[in-house]
Each structure stands twice: as C-alpha cells, then as structure tokens.
Chains A and B, each alone.
Chain A
C-alpha cells in the first residue's frame, strides 16, 4: 500500500472524498465511473420507485387477483424493453408492492416508462418472479408516463389510470381497470457530507535527517475484507504534530456512518515508497464520538510476527479536531420543495438564415413534416423542460426582424401580440414560430442583448415576489453576435439572477467567437464598466458538432443546468423547504 500516491507534485495533494459543499453536486463516485464507462454523461440521481394500486380488476374465480407490476423503459428507437418486475402480492385488488425499482434519473433526457400489471395465475405461485412467462399471465392493464413527471410532483407520487393495451380488441366491458400509483424516492444518504479536521500528536520520525512528512489515507473496508482508499490528505512537510486541512466524505460513498474505515498515517517519500507510521480503524460514528469527547486514540502499528498479527501500540495519538455534517440538497430536493423551472425561447430571425420559403433556408418549413433545426431545438429542449414548469406558459420572442409595421426589433413577441409574450405549451411555441415566420421580414444584425435583458427582467420580478422559480432562456441562432460587448454586458448584469442561458448555434457559421460567452471554454465575462460575471450562466452548443455523436444537443445543453441551479441556490443558502 502506498503506491497509489506516488508522484511527487500531485502525490502531495489531497485526493478523493467529496468536494466541499460550495462546489458542485454530490455524486456517488463509484456509480459515476460506472455510468461514464457506459457513455451516460451528465448529472443524475439514483431513484427508487415503489408501486401500489387500487381497484384492480378481479380475474380469478374463487379469490382476488394476484397482481405483479412489470416495468418497461422506452429505448431510443421507440421500442419498450422490460427492466424490472415486482413481487407477486397474493389475493389483493389494492396491493402495495414491496420490491422497489432503482433507476438512474437523468435530467437531460426524457425517460418514458411503461408499467404493466399482470395477474399471476395460481399454478405459478411458487415460481420465481423472474421465470414467469408474461404471455401465460392475465393482463390487467397498463399505464405509462415520463420519469420527470413523477419526480417533479411535490409528493413525488403520480397516480395513473390503467388502460387496455391498444392492440387488443376494444373491450365491451367498462373501462375501469383501476389506478396505479408510482412513488419516487431518492436513494437515501446521498446528501450528507461529513467534514473533518484531523490531527496527530507525537508522530514517530521516519526520516533520517529530518522529521516525517505525514499524510493520511482514509479507506473503507468492504465485505470481503479488502480496503479501498477513499481519500487522502495533503502532505505536511517536516511535522510530527500535523493538523491537516479538512477532508470531506460523502456518507453514501462510504456506505453508512457505521461502516468501518481504516485511517493510515504514512511518511511521504519522494520515491513513492511511503512508510506507514501507524493506523486506526474507526467508523464515522466513532470519529464523531472522538471529537465530542475531545479525546485522542493511539495509532497502531501492525507488526506481522509469524502468525501473530499483533499490533504494536505506538505513542502517537490521533485526534478529530472538528467534525460536522452538512446536508447537501440535490436538484430533486428542490423540485420536491416546490421549485420550478421556467422555460423561455428566443429565435433568430436574421436574414442570414435565408428566405424561409426556400428549401435551403434554416427556417424552411418542410411540408413533409420534417423539423428544421430551429424546430428540433425548440422541441427537444422544451420537451425536457416542460415537466418542470407548472403552468406550461412559455415566453417566446424573436429577434433581428422587422414585424409588419415597424422598425427592426431585437425582441418581439413571437405570438404577434404587443402586450404579452407567453404561449401555451410546446405546441404553442411551434405554432407561434411558424406564423411569425410569415409575418415578419428577416433583417439583422444579430444582437442578444435585448432578449437577455427581457429575460433578466422576468427573473428579477419573480425574485422580488420571492417566487421559487429558476429561469431558462433558450436562444437559437444561426450566426455570430454582432456586438459581443453588448451581449457580455447584458450577461454580466444578469449573472446574479436565477437564470441560465442556453445558446444553440445552427447552420454552418464558425462559432468560435461565441464560445467566449461560455465561461467553461474561457475566462469570466467582463462588462465594459469593470464588473465581472458572478457566475457562468451560459451554455453554448453548436448544433452540428453534436449531430454525429451519441449525445444529443439536449444532453450537452442541459447537462450543466442542474449544476448552475444548485450553485445559485447553495451560494445563497436557499434550502428546498421554506
């Protein structure tokens, strides 16, 4: 042991554990690696779905139905594949199933689930649920919904009516097939982080001419007895009474507060062969006790002498200077607490898009129904975000065109009204977009400032009313902004609001200049008055860059959104429950 921290420069820094609470979300590091290796990017949470039903149909003659739920997920090609089965509940028309289905909730894709309820025939009651052939069971009904629908409800429960499968002959019986309730719960303990400041006294000196350079490695012990390092502290040079910087541990990463941890103190050697000074075995609960009792514990040195693995008690002592636990709320916690995302759209109507009546224009409305780039972006992003917007009324604007009577406007209402800017639902946006196309003359230049200011005004009014709303503005454009500084000024002014701006670049233009607006790719934005953006609120994605890859525009655009939302809430210490 000890070779996991071999390089000098990097090897001396603290590694692992969780980031301190002011930065990005908690993630289960092991699950994260697993999902990344399968190509699932972006933020996610583990959700457990539990099921119950009422008023199921009675299919058995002498007793009630014995229902079971089978869960299917819709794949990219539209087909449903089975993913889970609950257990069979005997003799009940209002069952509550115990087995829960764990699914990864991904914010940026729409996960459609299908639930089918079957009555399991008596002859199969001793067969394992997995082995049951569904064709041999009696179909009771089905229901489907998107995972985000369940998750965005306040009580995280969604009740659906069970209906007949479409392919079957329409039944002459009454349509009442009962109701299925699906309840979502986030896997517990993913949110609690323990922060500890550790120190040691009287360490042994392992180096010849100087004192030890100690650092700690904290490992968790898994069932098979192997210890897996979870984090290590920085190296303190020449110090026999070291106090290290605080370490942060995610309780779920370790298992639980009572999971055994091994804390080893090593003397750092630049050749990578670090010597063990001593170790202790404690759980987080033990560490908390050590802290409150203000006591120290002795380090042990395992001395393998023959078969006797006796541990020599060293005179060095180990202390927990500080111990505190903080709860890091996740995106879903805020949704459950009543927070909403408000979706807004701004469409580029500049002349560079081409004449909308010609097929080579980016705004061409194809009579065959194929969506143009603008429609695709609106539809895909809107589809995901609409679940989080309770009233489904979306402000929609256009910019860079001349409405029928008037000069060029850099922020006009897409619905043609002069008083209000909202449309109803994604359909409303699509319809307003198509009608606006033929009611305005495309002009220019490409300026975002007005639209950003308008969105910022809406966000600011909501802030003044103390509403629990976070605004997302989607700007779809084909060209590079004419006045970059004006856009930067507008963005800097809006950077402290509950607002995120997603920019999709369509068409073939070179969007290099636009990437400056997205602070991931460069520096923080600076306005002409010397003010710097408080946070990065822009996510920019060129549409064509992503068309070949496996990720969609939506996934790249929305992947950062929960982080931006959480950074805003955490920096102001806004908690989900008021």
Chain B
C-alpha cells in the first residue's frame, strides 16, 4: 500500500500556567512537535514569557495518512544554551480531533489541550491552530476504518465516530487520587 501523506501546518500559539517542581516556569520554554520518532520540529524559544509563553510559530510537517496522534512536548532549558532541557508537559492530539470532525480539515482549526507532566499530573494548557493543506478525507477514513477493523473487528455502538481515548499513565509511588487534582 502506498503511504500517502498530507502536509500539516501547525502553529504553536501559546501555553498557560506551566510549572516545574511546583513553581512557575521562569523562561526559555519551547515546544517540540512530533509525528513519529523521526519526524519532529521545534519552535523558537520564548525567553521572556515565563509560565505563560507565546510563540506563534508556524511549523510545516509531512503527516502520513496512518498517523493517529501528534505529540506536543513543552520543554524548557535552564541556561541560555540548549543544554539541560527538561520536559514540562506533554499533550497528544488525536488526529480524529481535526480530521473527520466538525470542521473541514483544510479549514484553520483552533485547538487546546491539557498538558501533563512526566508523572502524569496536570500542568497547564497548550493552544495551537492547525490545518491540512489538502484534504485527506478519502485516505483518512479508509485508514481509520482499516485501523479500526484491525483493532477490534466489531463496530461499537454502530457509531461512525472513531474517537480515541487518551490514557493517563498510572505511576507507582503516588496515591491514585493525586492524579485528579
């Protein structure tokens, strides 16, 4: 099967309320957008924004049709050089949120997601806007159908909605109610 891909234009707008070690991030936050392990891009560093950084950085990436998630990692670097990066929070955008949803995928969509830190705790919100340059509609619904049927083989509830559920990692050593701040 040929691997078709579309062009994704994603603009990382801003983030809100970022914390590290329970204190607000002071500066130097940036975002790494990855589609898979080999396909990722980084935004500029916001040196002043602190815990409410804004980038307004547009990144253009190739997105293969079978992509299920786009991962956003908000990181910050301590010094002025890029040594010593730490992950502040991660969010995963299910492709079904912007393909086959309410808005046509070529239409500019504004999306926001909850960030979770490496321990799984809530850590701010990230705001992006994105669009696909060409409609993936036929390819994507085929891919989704293929993926869905490989997964279970039974349509659940007869619904057309191939929504994905984002799992929250459970980390040992923390009482489970700490995850739901």
Q: Interface residues, chain A, CB within 8 Å of chain B?
A: 456-457, 459-460, 463-464, 493-494, 496-497, 524, 526, 529-535, 571-572
B116 to chain A: which residues have CB within 8 Å?
Answer: 530
Are B102 and A526 touching (Cβ within 8 A)?
A: no
- Contacts A/B (CB < 8 Å), 28 sampled: A457-B102, A459-B102, A460-B103, A463-B103, A463-B104, A463-B107, A464-B104, A493-B101, A493-B102, A496-B102, A496-B111, A524-B112, A524-B125, A529-B165, A529-B166, A530-B91, A530-B92, A530-B114, A530-B116, A530-B166, A531-B97, A531-B113, A532-B112, A532-B125, A534-B110, A534-B112, A535-B110, A572-B108
Is B164 in the interface zone, CB < 8 Å from A? yes
Are A496 and B109 touching (Cβ within 8 A)?
A: yes
B110 to chain A: which residues have CB within 8 Å?
Answer: 496, 534-535, 571-572
Enumerate B114-168 residues with CB–CB distance to A below 8 Å.
Answer: 114, 116, 125, 127, 129, 163-166
Are B102 and A497 touching (Cβ within 8 A)?
A: yes
Closest B residue by C-beta to A453: B102
Min Cβ gap A400→B in Å is 22
B49 to chain A: which residues have CB within 8 Å?
Answer: none
Min Cβ gap A500→B in Å is 15
Are B114 and A534 touching (Cβ within 8 A)?
A: no
A464 to chain B: which residues have CB within 8 Å?
Answer: 104
Is B64 in the interface zone, CB < 8 Å from A? no
Q: A529 with B102: in contact, given A463-B107, A524-B112, A572-B108 (CB under 8 Å)?
A: no
Give CA–CA (A524, B110) in the complex, Å.
14
Where chain A touches its partner, the secondary structure class is mixed
Are B94 and A529 touching (Cβ within 8 A)?
A: yes
Q: A496 with B166: in contact, given A526-B114, A531-B111, A532-B114 (CB under 8 Å)?
A: no
Give CA–CA (A533, B103) in the complex, Å.
15
- Please name 16 further chain A to chain B contacts, defined as beta carbons within 8 Å, in addition to the given A456-B102, A496-B111, A534-B111, sorted by A numbering: A460-B103, A463-B104, A464-B104, A493-B102, A496-B103, A524-B125, A529-B164, A529-B165, A530-B114, A531-B113, A532-B112, A532-B125, A533-B112, A535-B110, A571-B110, A572-B108
Give CA–CA (A451, B45) in the complex, Å.
43
The 6 nearest A-B residue pairs measured at CB: A460-B102, A532-B112, A534-B110, A530-B166, A530-B114, A464-B104
B94 to chain A: which residues have CB within 8 Å?
Answer: 529
Where chain B touches its partner, the secondary structure class is strand
B127 to chain A: which residues have CB within 8 Å?
Answer: 534
With most chain B CB atoms within 10 A of its CB, the pick from A464, A529, A535 is: A529
Closest A residue by C-beta to B107: A463
Are B114 and A494 touching (Cβ within 8 A)?
A: no
Min Cβ gap A562→B in Å is 19
The contact of B102 among A494, A531, A572, by CB within 8 Å, is A494
Give CA–CA (A524, B114) in the complex, Å.
10
A533 to chain B: which residues have CB within 8 Å?
Answer: 112
Min Cβ gap B103→A in Å is 6
Min Cβ gap B2→A in Å is 28
Min Cβ gap A247→B in Å is 18
A572 to chain B: which residues have CB within 8 Å?
Answer: 108, 110
Closest B residue by C-beta to A535: B110
Give CA–CA (A464, B101) in the complex, Å.
11
Give CA–CA (A67, B125) in the complex, Å.
63
Are A531 and B112 touching (Cβ within 8 A)?
A: yes
B114 to chain A: which residues have CB within 8 Å?
Answer: 526, 530-532
B108 to chain A: which residues have CB within 8 Å?
Answer: 572
Closest B residue by C-beta to A497: B102
Give CA–CA (A534, B97) in the complex, Å.
12
Give CA–CA (A530, B103) in the complex, Å.
19
Min Cβ gap B138→A in Å is 15
Closest B residue by C-beta to A527: B114
Closest A residue by C-beta to B165: A529
Closest A residue by C-beta to B94: A529
Give CA–CA (A456, B102) in the complex, Å.
7
Min Cβ gap B52→A in Å is 14
Give CA–CA (A480, B163) in the complex, Å.
27
Closest B residue by C-beta to A492: B112
Give CA–CA (A463, B109) in the complex, Å.
12
Min Cβ gap B22→A in Å is 19
Min Cβ gap A106→B in Å is 29
Min Cβ gap A473→B in Å is 14
Closest B residue by C-beta to A572: B108
Give CA–CA (A526, B129) in the complex, Å.
17
Closest B residue by C-beta to A571: B110
Give CA–CA (A534, B109) in the complex, Å.
9
A493 to chain B: which residues have CB within 8 Å?
Answer: 101-102
A496 to chain B: which residues have CB within 8 Å?
Answer: 102-103, 109-111
Give CA–CA (A532, B101) in the complex, Å.
15
Min Cβ gap A411→B in Å is 16
Give CA–CA (A530, B111) in the complex, Å.
11
Give CA–CA (A532, B97) in the complex, Å.
12
